[in-house]
Amino acid sequence: MAKKTVKKTLKPGTIEIYDTTLRDGTQAEGISFSLEDKLAIARKLDELGVDYIEGGYPLSNAKDEAFFKETRKLTFKHSRIAAFGMTRKKGVKPQNDIGLLALQKCLAPVVTLVAKGWDLQVRKVLNASLEENLRMIDDSVRFLKRKGREVFLDAEHFFDGYKENPLYAIRVLEAAANAGATRLILCDTNGGSLVSQVETIVSEVANAIDVPLGIHTHNDAGLAVANSLAAVDKGAVQVQGTMNGIGERCGNVDLCTIIPNLILKMGYKCLKKNSLSKLTEISRFVYEQANLNLPLNQPYVGASSFAHKGGMHVHAVQKDSRFYEHVKPQEVGNSRRVIISELSGTSNLLAKSEKLAVLNDKAVVRKILKEVQNLENQGYQFETAEASFDLLVRRFTGKYPSFFTLDHYRSVIFKNKNGQPVSEASVKINVNGKVEHHVAEGDGPVNAMDAALRKALAGHYPVINEIQLVDYRVRVVNFREATAAKVRVVIESRDKNEHWGTIGVSENIIDASWKALVDSIEYKLLCHNK
């Protein structure tokens, strides 16, 4: 039996949430987060209050290495940053192993090491003896513990290994525990285990190992959520997963489903206090960063999760929402939608009622909500464009000063004599009674437009030089219209103190970009002039 490890950070009735969106989630097909994406998501996860944010594998690429460097400059109020890596290579001393040295160098306070928990993998993938695998685990954990890191062990393919050779699978956990690992994570790496199997194995391991256990499931059999909940029921104290369940193949367990189930259904404490209501907002933020469409029927956070069409359902919900809503939508930051025809369109932004609560005029509030509904029907989504939503509210409340008015803009693309494409934009605006007409070139039409607009405004509002455009995303809204389809452009900007998102929608990608760009600049000017 492994020696006892003090559960110094775990309170009774608490389940730790370990988010691996930025590492395991990026293995999903079609997903690639930029450094700015990863930092923005990390800030949102800290706001939600997850316990651990796994940032990546610092040896794998320069972006992950930079992530750990940048996070050291940030202050996280709740979350701890974790780095992911492997045990030392066969035949290499830990002090000479480049992977362990990278984990040491990144200075993440927590390191999660992956080790083989299936004897078949040890022989066929590592091409090592079973005893050598145990030594690799022991050496690696001890090395990082001596460097002051808290070490978790991800026992890869643990359930497959336990089914075939339970004694060796337990020895893998014992090797890590005896070396000082503080969490032992049982991984259903293939995602093929059944709930009954997970229940039995976790229960047996919990009786054999006196170190806190975690669960890491994949969704290949559609059972990731059920398996994780079963593991918790049998003693696991940590759940590893990703926001929206993104991940390789069929994905990881969806934290957006697991977390409310743990809190609202099972009575566990997760996240920081009173943050569950941010779940829908942060779920959609991650979708936008990943440039993915939002599934309507995703549990808890989907746009249709609390949607009711006409007839007896709507009538019943009006009498008592419990008839067709298993939880209150506001508990997870979502909102009820009553659909009276085949066309939806009731605003999902009702969940952001705190922005409207400051208004005393109910007629104005209704006008704002109606406008949001109209804009959403056109393709707007404000979850990652809160700056544009703030400007929308200000326009209706008369708290929106005019910084400039547009006369016209023009954007052209031509090839120069060297055959290289060149983008050129001209902008003519009126600023404080003065006409400004400027031309600029850029790496693309949006970059050129941004440069021309900045030239026109910089003399009047020098503060715009603080704005950095850090991300630009385009999404087709009504793809069936082919080349005539509307597009949604989301621009993420920042200055030294703040990040913000803005949005524009149009059949013309340049015009959609212009709307998002103008909102970004005007939001900065409004904040500066408060």
Say if residue 150 is in the same domain as residue 264.
Answer: yes
Under a CB-based contact definition with an 8 Å cutoff, are residues 383 and 285 in contact? yes
CATH number at residue 292: 4.10.430.20
Under a CB-based contact definition with an 8 Å cutoff, are residues 417 and 424 in contact? no
pTM above 0.85, yes or no: no
Last residue of a domain, one of 440, 460, 480: 460
Question: How far apart (Å, rounded) are the C-alpha atoms in residues 445 and 466?
Answer: 21
For 113-133, give one letter per residue: b (16+ CB within 10 A) or e. bbbbbbbebbeeebebeeeeb
Question: How far apart (Å, rounded) are the C-alpha atoms in residues 149 and 59?
Answer: 17
pLDDT (0 to 100) of residue 331? 95
Last residue of a domain, one of 268, 294, 323: 268
Last residue of a domain, one of 234, 268, 302: 268
- Distances from the Cα of 373 to the Cα of 370, 377, 396, 491, angstroms: 5, 6, 15, 21
Burial (Cβ within 10 Å: 0-12, 13-18, ≥19) of residue 40: buried
CATH number at residue 32: 3.20.20.70
Map 461-520 to HEC letters.
Answer: CHHHHHCEEEEEEEEECCHHHHHHCCEEEEEEEECCCCEEEEEEEECCHHHHHHHHHHHH
Say if residue 162 is in the same domain as residue 243.
Answer: yes
Nearest Cα neighbor of 435 from 424, 443, 427 is: 427
- Distances from the Cα of 483 to the Cα of 423, 480, 507, angstroms: 21, 9, 9
Under a CB-based contact definition with an 8 Å cutoff, are residues 179 and 190 in contact? no
Say if residue 186 is in the same domain as residue 325.
Answer: no
Residues 6+ apart with CB under 8 A from 171: 134
Say if residue 386 is in the same domain as residue 473.
Answer: yes
Question: How far apart (Å, rounded) are the C-alpha atoms in residues 354 and 502?
Answer: 19
Query: What value, to the nearest 5°, has the Cα angle with vertex 89 and ends 220 and 108?
Result: 75
Say if residue 263 is in the same domain as residue 282.
Answer: no
Split into its structural domains, the chain has a count of 4
Residue 1 placed within a domain: no
Say if residue 284 is in the same domain as residue 199.
Answer: no
Burial (Cβ within 10 Å: 0-12, 13-18, ≥19) of residue 491: buried
Which residues form the domain of 303?
Answer: 273-344
Residue 350 placed within a domain: no
Say if residue 395 is in the same domain as residue 413.
Answer: no
Q: Which two tokens stand for residue 361?
A: 């005029």
Residue 3 placed within a domain: no
Under a CB-based contact definition with an 8 Å cutoff, are residues 90 and 138 in contact? no
| Number of Cβ atoms within 10 Å of the Cβ of 507 | 14
pLDDT (0 to 100) of residue 356? 52
pLDDT (0 to 100) of residue 8? 40
Say if residue 236 is in the same domain as residue 251.
Answer: yes
Say if residue 246 is in the same domain as residue 381.
Answer: no
Burial (Cβ within 10 Å: 0-12, 13-18, ≥19) of residue 14: middle
Q: What are the per-10-residue average pLDDT scores of the chain (530 residues)?
A: 42 91 95 94 96 93 92 94 96 96 95 97 95 98 97 98 97 98 98 98 97 98 98 97 97 98 96 92 91 87 78 64 86 74 33 49 77 83 82 84 93 86 94 95 92 95 91 81 78 85 93 96 87
Residue 28 placed within a domain: yes
Residue 517 placed within a domain: yes
Residue 193 placed within a domain: yes
Under a CB-based contact definition with an 8 Å cutoff, are residues 53 and 276 in contact? no
Residue 349 placed within a domain: no
Say if residue 503 is in the same domain as residue 370.
Answer: yes
Partners of residue 405 on adjacent β-strands: 430
Say if residue 49 is in the same domain as residue 164.
Answer: yes
For 392-406, give one letter per residue: b (16+ CB within 10 A) or e. bbeebeeeeeebbee
CATH number at residue 445: 3.30.160.740
Residue 5 placed within a domain: no
Say if residue 388 is in the same domain as residue 324.
Answer: no
pLDDT (0 to 100) of residue 483? 59
Which amino acid is it at 90?
K
Question: How far apart (Å, rounded) are the C-alpha atoms in residues 335 and 479?
Answer: 27
